[in-house]
Amino acid sequence: MTPRRITPGLAGAPTDVDVVVIGLGVTGAGVALDAASRGLSVLAVDAHDLAFGTSRFSSKLVHGGLRYLASGQVAIAHESAVERGILMETTAPHLTRPLPSLIPLAPGVSRPMGLLAGAGFLGGDLLRRAARTSADTLPRPRRLTAAEARRLAPPLRTDGLRGGLLGWDGQLEDDARLVTTIARTAAERGAAVHTHARVLSATGTAVELRDELTGAPLSVTCRTVVNAAGVWAGDLVDDVRLRPSRGTHLVLRAEALPKLSVAVFAPIPGETNRFVLVLPQPDGQFYVGLTDEPVDGPVPDVAEPTEVEIGFLLDVVSASFSRQLRRSDVVGAFAGLRPLLDGGEGSTADLSRKHAVLTSRTGVVTIVGGKLTTYRRMAEDAVDAAVASAGLAAGPCVTATLPLLGAAPREALAEEAARAGSPGAARLVRRYGADAGLALTAAVEASGWSEAELLAPIAPGHPTIPTVWAELFFGITHEGAADVADLLDRRTRIGLVPDDRAVALPAAERVLEACRNPRRSGETRA
């Protein structure tokens, strides 16, 4: 099949395919890649954009299933550990990194709770070994002295600190970047990936679409349909019952917790195995999360954090640090909705994260539940079910050994970043891996600017916005960005901080205009 690029709208979309995939979050993008890599013809669509929903509002972690192990969900914990290893060592080493995580043994952590947490870290290491993930990728956990804990996390509250527990998990460069890269890889394998294309109706063999950019309708005939619409899956299939749960995160600047370079697990009062996480990010910010609140009523396009949740997160985290965090420290906040299967009564925090594949009366295959880390296995199970239901001739699943675009050994990428001639060039390596050169070349061709200009920050004088011009151009040329929101809220994550978004807005508008009017794109930035 001829490689494609991600396309906003339905221009050029096929009208007869083997598989239509509805939804382009991490699971839908994974389904598109899985199906295309088995030799099936694929049309994958989303009413909005890549990673528009839950997939851009995660904790940006590649979890090993520690929490599930603590609650006795051993099978889910093992699956998570296996999928984490595949992501970190095979499919996306360029988009993942080991994250050291510290549980401070402070007065708020009783000795029995500390023993339980330590046993959990050891159990997590057993999962790592069972998943055959190298200790070079994720080192073994260990106990720290109080002095070691203070050195790793200088802002910690030191009164009564007895030491700490240090474990390791995986962290993403960015969740939306993972989704975009999966979608690009699916397109490179021949899938037709179209954003801003809304599904009006669907059966197992036909889908009615509307181009959200032009309003034009399109009818598509297919052999099978996979519904990967997440929390909106029930809008397409009546007999899918979900119970969404809202997870809220805060965004803090680096100066709120100076010199903190490890994740910190802050214990939630009254809970034995639940924590609020303080997560350092590649660009110097911190994400603090997360909550687990049931959501009733219609599902919104974008969930909004509540002030109650923000206050809860600040209070829990402040108990572990020497400085009381204030509402003014919060420069951004975001919330995502988990598509949990309705299990009846009880807290959403207690609902299983196990995924499920359901087939409707009309033949639509729906994949729900699960979590970001296990997207690949979810996609495999969904495609298996769709292929069996439709009687399609397809090859075996190969995604466990199929590197995403830009993948390369982590050590090689570190050396390449070290050799980069500028911070901007090193940033492209960090964000695109081995495709850094492609991103820069594509930006040169689209803009007519010099490499030096494209590697410069889009907002000089604003160190909290390290995004370079090449990222915006590549977002349009190869990643299907159609508007300012696509660029600032998903291809980059500038939009997580409203003040930064306002500063970056003129740059995004300028790049969009340059790509729409290529005759003027040869102008320099000056």
DSSP type of residue 89: I
Q: In this model, does residue 521 exceed pLDDT 50?
A: no
Separation between Cα atoms, residue 208 and residue 201, nearest integer Å? 5
Domains 7-55+176-241+350-401 and 96-172+243-342 share a fold: no
Q: In this model, does residue 344 exceed pLDDT 90?
A: no
Q: Which two tokens stand for residue 273?
A: 């195995």
Q: In this model, does residue 515 exceed pLDDT 50?
A: yes
Q: Are 376 and 86 in contact (CB under 8 A)?
A: yes
Question: For position 2, what pLDDT does the model report?
Answer: 53
Question: For position 450, what pLDDT does the model report?
Answer: 97
Q: In this model, does residue 113 exceed pLDDT 50?
A: yes
Which are the contacts of 206, defined by CB distance < 8 A and separation ≥ 6?
A: 219, 220, 221, 222
Q: In this model, does residue 69 exceed pLDDT 80?
A: no
Domain 96-172+243-342 CATH assignment equals 3.30.9.10: yes
Each residue's pLDDT tens digit, 267-299: 888 777 789 999 999 999 999 998 988 888 888
Name the percent of the chain lying above pLDDT 70.
95
Q: In this model, does residue 3 exceed pLDDT 70?
A: no
Question: For position 526, what pLDDT does the model report?
Answer: 37
Helix ranges, 283-398 (H): 307-318, 375-390
Q: In this model, does residue 477 exceed pLDDT 70?
A: yes
Calculate the average pLDDT of the chain. 93
Q: Mean pLDDT throughout 20-37? A: 98
Name the percent of the chain lying above pLDDT 90.
81
CATH class for the domain made up of 7-55+176-241+350-401: alpha beta
Of 13, 84, 43, 20, residue with least CA distance to 371: 84
55-59, 292-296, 402-406, 417-421: least confident range:
292-296
- Considering Cα of 182, then 185, then 191, then 195, what sign does the dihedral take? positive
Each residue's pLDDT tens digit, 189-202: 999 999 999 999 99
Q: Rounded to two decimals, what is the model's pTM?
A: 0.95
Q: Which two tokens stand for residue 56?
A: 């851009």
- Banded pLDDT at 348 (limits 50, 70, 90): very low
Question: For position 108, what pLDDT does the model report?
Answer: 80
Of 24, 16, 87, residue with least CA distance to 480: 24
Question: For position 369, what pLDDT does the model report?
Answer: 87
Q: Where are the domains of the chain?
A: 7-55+176-241+350-401, 96-172+243-342, 410-516
Separation between Cα atoms, residue 124 and residue 467, nearest integer Å? 35
Question: For position 353, what pLDDT does the model report?
Answer: 65
- Banded pLDDT at 64 (limits 50, 70, 90): confident
Q: In this model, does residue 473 exceed pLDDT 90?
A: yes
* Cα Rg of the chain, angstroms: 23
Q: What is the largest CA-CA distance in the chain?
A: 69
Question: For position 243, what pLDDT does the model report?
Answer: 82
